[in-house]
Amino acid sequence: MKKPYLKEFPNEEGFFGKFGGAFVPEAIAKQMQEINKAYELIAQNAEFIAELRRIRTHFQGRPTPIYFAKNLTNKYGGAGIYLKREDLNHTGAHKLNHCMGEALLAKFMGKKKLIAETGAGQHGVALATAAAYFGMECEIHMGEVDIKKEYPNVVRMKILGANVVPVTFGAKTLKEAVDSAFEAYLKDPINSIYAIGSVVGPHPFPRIVRDFQHIVGLEAKEQFLDMTGELPDKIIACVGGGSNAMGIFSAFIEEDFIELIGVEPLGKSKLDSVKLGEHAASLSYGSEGVMHGFNSIMLKDGDGEPASVHSVASGLDYPSVGPEHAYLSSIGRTKVMAINDDEAIKAFFELSRFEGIIPAIESSHAVAYALKIAKDFPGKKLLVNLSGRGDKDIDFVVENYGYGDSVK
């Protein structure tokens, strides 16, 4: 009998087909194996599962609802548009789903300190929250460019007691933040743990983060059936590293009549003139390569090094993508689309003005794609993973785009 997808992938070495693995120095490989062993143990442990469930219900406020966006559905006149409201998860995004799990794992392993990178600051805020909850130290590495852009989240991290380390080299965004956090982790891998912020990094992180995010898809499936009597026709999620997308997709992979659509950031480019350096659509325009300890699809410069990338959304601004996304798109199970900065910002205002929900700019990419295709699919149902809320983005948006008065 065929194994269920989630049991089959990744394999024991952390591969999804040829993607994934753990391309790290030997000392770190040993740490990764220990983390994997500890995870295998607690994932079967009734006490751990019960504690995570309690946290999700009483601390995070799960389940998050599904909302039928009736005003936008009427405005666009085609498919029904539904939102899985991860913006209502405590701390305002899906990131807390894996942070509480990672911190619980760290506590079980006797670690004292949580270290991570952050782009938009949502993973940083979520990890600082988890550290406060469990009484652990927390160190967050963040590019100087993102510190300026996502300042409200920097303030939140500091109030929560985290040490925010500004990253001042290279493009000073997400990739450099990962480099810097990894370096800090290497200094003391015994007492600290690198609680990575997406389904990226060396094995076992892509699996661990996916498993902790799986709750999003599980809830969505039951809720959508309850609400509409059927399953959605298409599920749409933005893809940076890919954790919110894997969270929702992972519960629907075996229902192959449902289209799973990942939306990447096309940045300043347009579909008919895509320029390297202007976007971060790794799956759409990248090629196979190893970065940050895993084999996946990445955007490379002329020397084969990670290319510089751009997106208006700090959380999508990454030159690679989780290995499971590389695998699922290579076998045709997921479809990958791209939305540019202007389309995302327009969707940011549309959802704000027509539904009363201010979305994160990251999530606005998924919303924009749903709005783009809705009219072509009358009678169908689109489920968008609204991965986060946009409070962190409002200063940046208003400064650069005004109040959206042109949105009618």
Ligand X SMILES: Cc1ncc(COP(=O)(O)O)c(C=O)c1O
- Dist. CA 182–CA 176, nearest whole Å: 10
Binding site for ligand X (CB under 6 A): 93, 119-120, 122-123, 198, 238-244, 315-316, 360, 362-363, 387-388
Cβ proximity of 213 and 250 under 8 Å: yes
Active site (annotated) includes residue 221 = no
CB nearer to ligand X: pick between 80 and 390: 390
Minimal distance in Å, beta carbon 45 to ligand X?
Answer: 26
| Shorter beta-carbon distance to ligand X: residue 198 or 334 | 198
Per-residue tokens: 225: 């059936």
Q: For the CB of residue 142, give the shortest distance to ligand X in the complex, in Å.
A: 11
Least distance (Å) between residue 387 CB and ligand X: 3
Greatest distance between any 2 Cα atoms in the chain: 57
Is 117 a known active-site residue? yes
DSSP 69-116: -HHHHHHHTSSEEEEEEGGGSTTSBTHHHHHHHHHHHHHHTT--EEEE
Nearer to ligand X, 10 or 241 (CB): 241
Q: What is the DSSP letter of 230?
A: S
Looking at beta carbons only, is 182 or 189 nearer to ligand X?
Answer: 182
Nearest-angstrom CA–CA distance, 195 and 244: 16
Task: Scan for tokens 């983060």, then name that residue.
Answer: 209
Looking only at the bridges linking them, the beta strands covering 287-291 and 137-143 are unpaired
The single residue of 219, 364, 387, 392 carrying the catalytic annotation is 387
Host H or E run for residue 248: helix 243-249
Cα–Cα distance measured from residue 315 to residue 45, given in angstroms and rounded to the nearest whole number: 33
Q: Are 223 and 31 in contact (CB under 8 A)?
A: no
Is 259 assigned a catalytic role?
A: no
**Amino acid at residue number 295:** N
In the complex, the smallest distance separating the C-beta of residue 188 from ligand X, rounded to whole angstroms, is 25
* Closest to 232 in 3D by CA, of 244, 246, 249: 249
- Judged by beta carbon, residue 198 or residue 340, the one nearer ligand X is 198
73 vs 244, beta carbon nearer ligand X:
244
Report how far residue 97's alpha carbon sits from residue 214's, in angstroms, rounded to the nearest whole number.
9
Q: Write down the least CB distance from residue 78 to ligand X, Å.
A: 25
Which of 86, 111, 113, 117 is catalytic? The answer is 117
Rounded to the nearest whole angstrom, what is the least distance from the CB of residue 50 to ligand X in the complex?
A: 27
Among residues 84, 86, 95, 362, which one is catalytic? Answer: 95
Quick one: which of 367, 360, 340, 16 has its CA closest to 199? 16
The catalytic residues are: 95, 117, 387
